[in-house]
Amino acid sequence: MHDSDGAHTFLDVPTREGKPRDRGLTHVIDKGLNLREIEGLFDTAGEYVDIVKLGWGTSYVTNNLEKKIALYRDVQTRAKAKLEELYARL
């Protein structure tokens, strides 16, 4: 593959729509990340992440769940949890 100057490129990645996107969504499963790890994730790949799913009961055992969800919202993602996790929190 070549760029516009004829130089070789590693990947030919198409341009993506800005956030919020309706197609080409990328989701990540949070298996228990702490706040610093979330910040690192978004420093590295935040422009690509659209949806974060809190997985496998983590929302039930996370002490700072409100802070975690607020951090995800701050970086323009939609934090989603499994239905049973939401039910367990009620």
Residue 77 has pLDDT above 50, yes or no: no
Q: Does the residue 7 lie in any domain?
A: no
Residue with the bigger pLDDT between 18 and 13: it is 18
Query: How much is the average pLDDT of 61-85?
Result: 69
Tens-digit pLDDT profile for residues 16-71: 888 888 888 888 899 999 999 999 998 998 888 888 888 888 888 888 888 988 88
The single residue listed with the structure tokens 């490129």 is 9
pTM for the model stands at 0.66
> What is the domain range of residue 47?
27-89
Q: Which residues does 17 contact at the CB level (< 8 Å), separation at least 6?
A: 23, 24
Q: Does the residue 18 lie in any domain?
A: no
Residue 17 identity: E
Q: Does the residue 32 lie in any domain?
A: yes
- Tell me how many domains the chain contains: 1
Write out the E strands in 40-82. 51-54, 78-81
The Cα 88–Cα 65 span in angstroms is 13
Q: Does the residue 76 lie in any domain?
A: yes
Residue 83 has pLDDT above 50, yes or no: no
Sheet architecture: strand order including 27-30: 27-30, 51-54, 78-81
